[in-house]
Amino acid sequence: MSIIHWLIVLAPVALIGLPVVKILKRMGFSGWWGLLALAPLANLIGLWVLASIEWPSQRKE
């Protein structure tokens, strides 16, 4: 595989994964959840989990 093939593979990872990790860290979750955004079925499960939990803005302190 040439360098072009690696760029085609790694560019979407960087363009999708890094912003997702930053958002997840702001929400108070581990950045490893960002790996779910790259897996086709796992991202739907991750979105379902994030949609059904109590959000930090809804927590009573």
Does 12 fall in a domain?
A: no
How far is residue 53 from each of residues 16, 30, 47, 57, measured CA to CA in Å?
Answer: 23, 15, 10, 11
Q: Are 49 and 29 in contact (CB under 8 A)?
A: no
Those residues whose C-beta lies under 8 Å from the C-beta of residue 16, and which sit 6 or more positions away, are: 37, 38
Does 5 fall in a domain?
A: no
Average pLDDT, the chain: 81
| Element spanning 12, H or E | helix 3-12
Does 31 fall in a domain?
A: yes
Q: What would the pLDDT profile of 4-17 be if each residue is shown by its tens digit?
A: 988 888 888 788 77
**Would you give the DSSP letter of residue 55?**
P
Q: How many domains does the chain have?
A: 1
**The pLDDT of residue 58 is above 80:** no
Does 23 fall in a domain?
A: yes
Domain carrying residue 36: 17-51
